[in-house]
């Protein structure tokens, strides 16, 4: 597998539902090269909502999906940004047929890389935290866990990817989300045209996440390729009592229907 560069960071396994993506140190995302997103344009009659629906439908119906991502905070010095830790993440997501899934979410820790890994074969989900040195994985004291998983739960990962991004997919390991209704818990509304800039064309929408403690509100800007409607970049601004939590995901790769070898869904794990 090929991953993005290392960044000085700290990674924890506890990824709460309200903080599905980790903030990152200032300036790192500016180094990420966005993919060439072609010369085509969306139809002038397309509304922001219809564009989002098309993106979501593509993600939901693709035979396979491959994503390489880089996630973090776009501006550590923003006075409205809330968060004390200098953290960031990068990695790869593979979604295949028959419920196969692999999510490798990584960050740097001193001289090694820490990885949160989710692997599904369609009936069983394995979750683990590993330290990677010289390409080899070593299990941490938190070990690995294995649980049965429904196809509904795996299919929900596609809608989560379209609505919230890679950062929230770790909640698939939460057994309480077995029959999660993503449309109800992750509601999208208030679609508008977003900025057109070097990142491409964009739409904005409101994201409302329901959870046992209530609801959280975010504003999302999603840049997309107007010729293929593939996501290029996502920026989320979440309202908190202390201010705002701003996170970004940049997709250096986002492809549909590629041939993904079975071996890619079978990472080398320690005994």
The domain containing residue 208 runs over which residues? 23-30+40-259
Query: Is there a domain that residue 92 lies in?
Result: yes
Taking the CB of residue 257, how many other CB atoms lie within 10 A of it? 12
Query: Is there a domain that residue 69 lies in?
Result: yes
Q: Which of 116, 132, 67, 16 is nearest to 264 (CA)?
A: 67
pLDDT in tens, 113-124: 889 999 999 899
Q: Is 142 exposed, middle or buried (0-12, 13-18, 19+ CB in 10 A)?
A: middle
Query: Is there a domain that residue 53 lies in?
Result: yes
Query: Is there a domain that residue 14 lies in?
Result: no
What value does the mean pLDDT take over residues 236-248? 83
Contact (Cβ atoms closer than 8 angstroms) between residue 66 and residue 260: yes
pTM: 0.78
Mind giving me the DSSP string for 50-75?
Answer: HHHHHHHHHHHH-S-EEEEEEEE-S-
Taking the CB of residue 186, how many other CB atoms lie within 10 A of it? 20
Query: Is there a domain that residue 89 lies in?
Result: yes
Q: What is the CA radius of gyration of the chain?
A: 18
Q: How many domains does the structure of the chain reveal?
A: 1
CATH of the domain at 98: 2.50.20
pLDDT in tens, 51-105: 999 999 999 999 999 999 998 876 544 444 344 343 578 999 999 999 999 999 9
């Amino acid at each position: 597998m090929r991953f993005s560069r290392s960044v000085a960071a700290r990674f924890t396994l506890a990824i709460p539902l309200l903080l599905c993506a980790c903030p990152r140190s200032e300036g790192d995302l500016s180094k990420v090269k966005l993919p060439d997103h072609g010369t085509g344009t969306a139809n002038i009659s397309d509304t922001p909502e219809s564009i989002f629906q098309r993106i979501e439908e593509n993600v939901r119906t693709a035979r396979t999906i491959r994503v390489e991502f880089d996630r973090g905070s776009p501006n550590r010095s923003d006075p409205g940004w809330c968060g004390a830790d200098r953290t960031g993440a990068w990695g790869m997501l593979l979604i295949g047929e028959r419920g196969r899934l692999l999510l490798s979410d990584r960050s740097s820790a001193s001289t090694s890389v820490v990885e949160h890994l989710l692997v599904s074969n369609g009936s069983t989900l394995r979750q683990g935290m590993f330290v990677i040195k010289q390409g080899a994985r070593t299990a941490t004291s938190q070990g690995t866990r294995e649980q049965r998983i429904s196809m509904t739960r795996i299919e929900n990962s596609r809608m989560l990817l379209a609505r919230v991004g890679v950062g929230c997919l770790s909640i698939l390991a939460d057994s309480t989300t077995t029959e999660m209704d993503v449309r109800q818990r992750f509601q999208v509304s208030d679609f508008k045209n977003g900025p057109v800039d070097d990142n491409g064309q964009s739409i904005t929408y409101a994201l409302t996440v329901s959870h046992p403690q209530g609801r959280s509100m975010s504003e999302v800007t999603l840049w997309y390729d107007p010729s293929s409607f593939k996501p290029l970049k996502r920026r989320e601004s979440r309202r908190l009592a202390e201010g705002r939590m701003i996170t970004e995901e940049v997709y250096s790769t986002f492809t549909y229907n590629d041939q993904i070898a079975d071996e890619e869904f079978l990472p080398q794990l320690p005994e």
